[in-house]
């Protein structure tokens, strides 16, 4: 039964689209970008730590660029940049929570900049988490290998650098209103100005 030609009764009584239909082309997921960035950051961190332990452990630091950069192998029981030493288990659990949160967020990831951001955070977190789990003195209490030192700055590693870069990028993306799903939040200042109301026309005066 049809109400008008070419229009079914179900369409006229059900004007809303069925659940799952989109009004326009959906953005593709960017999980592949996240995984690629995370693997690159993780690989760079793991390989650099292997080289540092093999070449710099129990040796004198190497000074480069006139002392601007120093390569020094140290072990860190705290968080990034040797913050909070003595709370190794706490930081291990926090790192696990960060990894889980990023993986959950990836389900709605449709923004390339956010994919790069979360990939850096994930790769850095997993890099240091691997040290916590696998290195001495014990699982969940392992000390992270740090090896990069700048003047007036704590010793750090590539995983710490990835985490910091990812955090800075997250702040910039949030400030610009870009969401993980690729949409953008527009503020009130971005709305077009409302047109001013027109003044009513006055009737012309009659001549006496």
Out of 160, 181, 189, 191, the active site residue is 160
146 is catalytic: yes
Helices (runs of H) and strands (runs of E) counted in the chain: 5, 5
Q: Are 146 and 157 in contact (CB under 8 A)?
A: yes
Output the DSSP codes for 126-186: HHHHHHHHHSSS-TTSPPEEEEEE-TTS--B-HHHHHHHHHHHHHHHHHHTTB-TTS-B--
Decide: 155 and 113 in contact? Cβ < 8 Å.
no
The residue assigned the tokens 């029981």 is 77
Is residue 160 among the annotated active site residues? Answer: yes
Q: Which of 11, 45, 146, 191 is catalytic?
A: 146
Q: Which residues are catalytic?
A: 146, 160
């Amino acid at each position: 039964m049809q109400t008008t030609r070419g229009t079914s009764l179900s369409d006229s009584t059900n004007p809303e689209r069925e659940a799952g239909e989109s009004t326009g082309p959906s953005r593709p997921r960017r999980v592949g970008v996240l995984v690629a960035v995370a693997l690159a950051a993780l690989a760079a961190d793991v390989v650099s730590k292997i080289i540092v332990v093999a070449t710099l452990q129990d040796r004198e630091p190497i000074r480069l660029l006139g002392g601007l950069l120093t390569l020094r192998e140290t072990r860190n029981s705290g968080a990034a940049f040797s913050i909070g030493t003595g709370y190794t288990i706490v930081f291990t659990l926090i790192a696990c929570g960060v990894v889980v949160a990023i993986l959950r967020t990836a389900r709605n990831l449709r923004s390339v900049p956010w994919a790069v951001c979360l990939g850096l955070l994930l790769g850095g977190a997993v890099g240091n988490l691997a040290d916590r789990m696998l290195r001495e003195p014990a699982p969940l209490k392992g000390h992270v290998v740090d090896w990069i030192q700048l003047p007036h700055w704590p010793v750090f590693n590539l995983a710490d650098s990835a985490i910091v870069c990812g955090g800075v990028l997250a702040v910039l993306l949030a400030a610009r209103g870009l969401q993980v799903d690729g949409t953008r939040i527009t503020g009130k200042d971005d709305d077009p100005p409302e047109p001013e109301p027109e003044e009513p026309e006055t009737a012309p005066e009659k001549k006496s």
